[in-house]
Amino acid sequence: MQVKYQAVILGGGQQAGNMLFPLCQDYSKSLLPICNKPMILYQLDVLESAGFIPQDILILITKNHQVVADLVQRRAEIFYVSDNSDSGSALLEAHEKIKKDFILLSCDSMIGANILNLLDFHYSTKATITCLIKEEDLDKKQGRAPISCNLNESFDIMFVGSDHSLLHISNSDDDDQDNLSVSRNVLLSCESIQIMTNLFDTHIYVCQYEVLELYQKLIKQVIDLQNWKEEFLPYIIKHQKNVNLLNLITKKEQGLFHERKQQQFSIKVFITQDYARRLNNIKDYQQANYESMIKGNKGIPLYQSVQDFQIQYPPDARISPDTVIGEGTRIGNKVIIQRSIIGKNCTIGDHVKISNSIIMKNVVINSNCLIQHCILSNESAVGHGTELNKCNLGNLASIEPNQKLVDECIIR
C-alpha cells in the first residue's frame, strides 16, 4: 500500500521571480502563463492526476500573493508565511500543517515525469530525501542537439553513488575553493561513485517527515540555512555521515530492548530522462513557451492539454499554425503573427508583425508595430509604430508611440 503523501508547493515569496525581471514586478510568479495557462495550474494538474486530493496539497505564499489564493482556492489549501522568509524557513513556519511525508515542489518546476514513479522509488529505497533529477543529453551528435533543460550558465556538480545516493552537490559557481573536498566516510559508503556534471535538479523533493524536525533542530545550531536548495540541502548532504547530525534524528519507535535506533540517513536521486524545466529565469521561461507551441509527435505531453480556441480573424491575417491565440482577442488587418502566444482579450491593431513573442492578457498593441522576441505582460500597451526587439514589459507597462527599443525592460 502506498503511503499517503502531502504535497507542498512553494508558491512564491519575496525572492520569487527576481531573475524574471520585470515580469514579476507586480505579479506573482506562479501565475505566469505557459501557453496561456498559469504555471501553478500545471502543478496542480500533475498532482491531481497522481492522486492528491485538495486537502493534501498545501501552497505556501506570502501575503502579497493573495491573487494566487483566489485562483486555486478550491483545489488546494493555502498557508500564508511571513514576508521575508526564504524557502526553507517558510517550510518551517508551516510545520504544523505538515503531518506526513511530503513532496516539496517549487511553483516553477515543469516536469513531464510521472510523480508516482518517484514516490514508489522513494518508498522502496527507504530514502530520507529523494531528489528528482533530469539527466541532460547534450552530447548527441545526431542532428540538432536537444535544448538543455537549464539555460543558465551554472551547473551543479554531483557525486552520485552506485546505489543512487547523492554524495556531494556543489555549484560550479562557488569558485572560492580550488578543491572539491568531500568527507571520507561519505565516499566510502558506496562502492563506485560517478562525478556527474550533466544532472539538473528540478527542485522536486520527496522527504520524510523527520526531515522537518531535523531542519528545526539544525536551524537553531547553524543559522545560515534559510534557503532549502542552496543551503540546507548541500549542508545535510555534506554531513550525511556525521555522527552529530545523525544523532539529531531519532526514530520514535523503540526496539525490543528500548534502544534508540539511529536512523539510516540517505539521500537518493531519481534520474529521469523525461521533460523537465525550471522557469526561474527569462531564457527558460521563453524556452518553455516555445516548447509548448510544438504540437504533434514532438510535442511535450505536459502542454498538450491546453485548449485551443477558435477565434475569428480577418482573412488577410497571416498566422502561423503553431501560434496560440487566447479567447476574445481581436486581430486587425494585415497582421502577421509567427510562432507566438497571445493571451485573452488582447487587441492587436492593423499591420502589426509579431514573431517569437509571448503576450499575456488584455494587451493592447496599436497599429504598425513590430514586435520580436518580446514578452508583454498583462495589460501592457504598445503605442503606434513602435519597434520592439527583445524587450520585456512588466505589468501595466506602456510604451510611447514611434519608439525603437532593443533589449529593454520596461515597467510601469
Partner 1 sequence: MSEFYAVILADSYDNQFNHLTNNIPKSLFPFVDDLIIEHQINWLSKNEIDQIIVLYRNEKIAEYFNNRRRPGRKTQKIQLINILDSKSSGDALRELYSHGIIQQDFLLLFGDVITNISLKEVINKYHDQRKEDKMNILLMVVHQGIQQYDEERYLYVLESDDKLFQLTDLQQKQIIINKKHITLTKGMPCKYVIRSNLIESGIYICNRDVLKSFQEYFMFAEIKEDFIKYMTTTSDIQEEKIHLYISPKIQVSQRIFHAQSYHNACLKYLSRFFFPYCPQQQYYVDFFKYFAGRVDQKSKISDQCFIGQNTDVKQKVTITKSIIGKNCKLGIGCEIINSILWDNIEVDDNIIIKDSIIASGCKIKNSIQSQIVTIENQKNVKQLLSFQKYDDNAFQSENSDQESDSHELHQKKPKENDDQGLKEDMIDIVANCKTVSQVKEAITNVDTIKVNSNIAFENIVIAFMAAFLDTLQPDVDSLKNAYALWEEFIIRFVSETEVVCYIKSIETFCRQNQQYHLNQFLQLSYKHQILSEQVIINYQNQMATLEDDQFAKDFVQSSQQFKEYLENIILEQEQQENQEGDGEYEYEYVYE
Minimum Å distance from CB 281 to partner 1? Answer: 15
H-helix or E-strand containing 409? strand 409-410
Q: How many CB atoms lie within 10 A of CB 377?
A: 29
Minimum Å distance from CB 33 to partner 1? Answer: 29
Rounded CA separation 350/318 (Å)? 12
Cα torsion 118, 119, 121, 122 to 10°: value is: 120
Q: Which is nearer to partner 1, 200 or 270 (CB)?
A: 200
CB-facing half-sphere around the CA of 67: CA atoms within 13 A: 11
Q: Which amino acid is at 270?
A: F
What is the pairing mode between strands 109-111 and 276-278? antiparallel
Q: Which is nearer to partner 1, 86 or 136 (CB)?
A: 136
* Residue located via cell numbers 555521515: 241
Q: Which is nearer to partner 1, 89 or 150 (CB)?
A: 150
Check: CB of residue 332 under 8 Å from CB of residue 312.
no
Q: Which is nearer to partner 1, 41 or 147 (CB)?
A: 147
Rounded CA separation 355/358 (Å)? 9
Residue 96: burial class (beta carbons within 10 Å; 0-12, 13-18, 19+): exposed
Minimum Å distance from CB 176 to partner 1? Answer: 11
Q: Which is nearer to partner 1, 70 or 191 (CB)?
A: 191
Q: Which is nearer to partner 1, 190 or 249 (CB)?
A: 190
Rounded CA separation 9/205 (Å)? 11
Q: Which is nearer to partner 1, 2 or 192 (CB)?
A: 192
Q: Which is nearer to partner 1, 160 or 410 (CB)?
A: 160
Rounded CA separation 4/316 (Å)? 55
Write the CA distances from 58 to 73, 95, 96, 162, integer angstroms: 11, 11, 12, 34
DSSP state of 135: E
Closest CA to 129 of 119, 140, 138: 119
Please give the residue ranges that form the binding site for partner 1 (CB under 8 A): 136, 138-139, 148, 153, 155, 157, 159, 172, 177-185, 187-188, 190-198
Minimum Å distance from CB 190 to partner 1? Answer: 7
Minimum Å distance from CB 246 to partner 1? Answer: 16
User: Which residues touch 147 (CB under 8 Å, ≥6 apart)?
Assistant: 287
Minimum Å distance from CB 242 to partner 1? Answer: 10
Minimum Å distance from CB 243 to partner 1? Answer: 12
Minimum Å distance from CB 241 to partner 1? Answer: 10
